[in-house]
């Protein structure tokens, strides 16, 4: 049981670290569209993995993560479209 708790604690720290790294690298409004799109794609992947991590253990948290992943993916797509038009 103790090993399972340690693994879970490591996973939680890793998740917190990944979210922290994502937030520290957040683009500004001056960042080029392409780079902002890449950031939102990264956010979508992270929250997609978080949804899998929470899975059936916490369905409400998993649903929230899926929602955030979807919103981030949509923003990345929008930014890619804007970038294409701006060329």
pLDDT digits (tens, 9 = 90+) for 21-55: 999 999 999 999 999 999 999 999 999 999 998 88
- Cβ distance 82 to 33 under 8 Å? yes
Q: What percent of the chain has pLDDT over 90?
A: 66
> What pLDDT, on a 0 to 100 scale, did the predictor assign at position 1?
46
Is the per-residue pLDDT at 67 higher than 80? yes
Which residue in this structure is represented by tokens 């996973």?
11
Packing angle between helix 59-86 and helix 33-54, nearest 10 degrees? 160
Residues recorded for the chain? 87
pLDDT digits (tens, 9 = 90+) for 68-78: 999 999 999 99
Packing angle between helix 2-24 and helix 33-54, nearest 10 degrees? 160
Is the pTM here over 0.85, yes or no?
no
């Amino acid at each position: 049981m103790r090993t399972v708790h340690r693994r879970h604690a490591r996973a939680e720290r890793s998740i917190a670290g990944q979210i922290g790294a994502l937030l520290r690298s957040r683009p500004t409004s001056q960042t080029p569209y392409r780079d902002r799109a890449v950031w939102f794609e990264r956010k979508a992947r992270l929250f997609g993995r978080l949804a899998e991590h929470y899975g059936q253990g916490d369905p409400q948290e998993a649903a929230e993560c899926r929602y955030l992943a979807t919103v981030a993916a949509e923003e990345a797509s929008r930014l890619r479209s804007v970038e294409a038009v701006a060329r």
